[in-house]
Amino acid sequence: MKRIVQLICFISVSLVVFLNLKNPYLIDKECRLQGISWQHWFGTDYLGRDLFSRVIYGCFYSLSIALLVLIGIVLISLLLGGSAGLTGGFIDLVITIVADMMISIPSMILALVFAGLFSNSIFTVMAALIISGSGKYIRYIRNLVLNIKTEEFVLLAPLRGSFTFHTLFYHILPNLVAELMSLFTTDLGKILISISGLSFLGIGIQPPTPELGTILFDGKAYFFVAPWVFIFPGILLSGIVLLTQRISKKINQKWGVVYD
């Protein structure tokens, strides 16, 4: 019964939010820097755009990019980390060295280098985040594969005609779901902060695209005149990060995942 009530409340709030959304690009200079009202729940920015709509669109935009980055990281890490753990030897050594190199390069610095060498776009930022974030996952998945590889169901897999990548995808990976989900949700908030932080510095997503970092950048100049332009995006960004940490903690408690 409790879950039904929670579901009904969630659907109701979602409908209210959806029905109140406006065009995040619509400029109305007569309504510029207006405070909180029934018409504009979060007020308006310096161009008269509805801040609530821009923040909601910005959340979806930022989360979508963060999810794409994480999916890219996981796919690369599963391939390289799983190969290193299964094969061992020289391949394991090379992949481990590459992973250590990835870990040693901060994502911010790599994004700055990529923006200077190639182009200042969201694809450049995504590539930098995927490269810098894959190292930790490669090492983590490699170690998990090495641990699971000693289990009897993996050792006996060749007797059933399962070899190398078939063993990895059908016998090892299903046992990594809880560990990967916990790490996935934890890093989702971290990547979201990285994307918004780079956007705030003018790297990647550019105004007038409604993204939390660009909205914060637009609002910083009006902090003392119209603080809501800066405060609401910051609160929502912090709330999403805290929520991802909370979900990760729940996954750890449910499946007993423990890692450093």
Provide the token pair at 65: 């990019």
Task: Name the pLDDT band for 259 (thresholds 50, 70, 90).
Answer: very low
Q: What is the pLDDT of residue 177?
A: 66
Handedness of CA 234, 239, 242, 243 (dihedral sign): negative
Per-residue pLDDT for 81 more than 50? yes
Per-residue pLDDT for 137 more than 70? yes
Per-residue pLDDT for 153 more than 70? no
Per-residue pLDDT for 2 more than 80? no
Region of 202 (left: φ > 0; alpha: ψ -120 to 50; beta: rest) is left
Q: What is the pLDDT of residue 134?
A: 85
* Three-state secondary-structure class, residue 256: coil
Alpha helix positions (H), 44-176: 51-87, 89-104, 107-117, 122-148, 152-155, 164-167
Per-residue pLDDT for 56 more than 80? yes
Q: What is the pLDDT of residue 145?
A: 78
- Look at 33 and 164; give whichever has higher pLDDT: 33
d(CA 14, CA 80): 40
Instruction: Over range 230-253, report the average pLDDT.
Output: 82
* Three-state secondary-structure class, residue 50: strand
d(CA 24, CA 223): 20
Handedness of CA 179, 149, 142, 167 (dihedral sign): negative
Q: What percent of the chain has pLDDT over 70?
A: 78
For residues 41 and 53, the answer to whether their CB atoms sit within 8 Å is no
Per-residue pLDDT for 5 more than 70? no
Instruction: Over range 247-259, report the average pLDDT.
Output: 64
For residues 22 and 50, the answer to whether their CB atoms sit within 8 Å is yes
Q: What is the pLDDT of residue 12?
A: 67
Residue that is written with structure tokens 């499946």 in the block: 255
Most confident stretch, 164-168, 207-211, 212-216, 251-255: 212-216
- Look at 66 and 103; give whichever has higher pLDDT: 66
Provide the token pair at 117: 């060498």
Q: What is the pLDDT of residue 9?
A: 67
Provide the token pair at 37: 């009202």
Q: What is the pLDDT of residue 102?
A: 82
d(CA 156, CA 151): 9
Instruction: Over range 205-234, report the average pLDDT.
Output: 82
Contacts of 40 (CB under 8 A, 6+ apart): 31, 34, 50, 51, 52
Instruction: Over range 119-136, report the average pLDDT.
Output: 84
Q: How many CB atoms lie within 10 A of CB 28?
A: 14
d(CA 251, CA 257): 7
Per-residue pLDDT for 113 more than 70? yes
Whole-number mean pLDDT of the chain?
Answer: 78
Kindly report the pTM of this predicted structure. Answer: 0.80
The helix-helix angle for 177-200 and 122-148 (nearest 10°) equals 160
d(CA 246, CA 113): 33
Q: What is the pLDDT of residue 161?
A: 58
Per-residue pLDDT for 179 more than 70? no
Per-residue pLDDT for 141 more than 50? yes
* Three-state secondary-structure class, residue 44: strand
Q: Residue 156: enclosing H or E segment and its boundaries?
A: none
d(CA 238, CA 189): 9
Per-residue pLDDT for 249 more than 80? no
Q: What is the pLDDT of residue 257?
A: 46
**Cis peptide upstream of residue 208 (ω within 30 degrees of 0):** yes
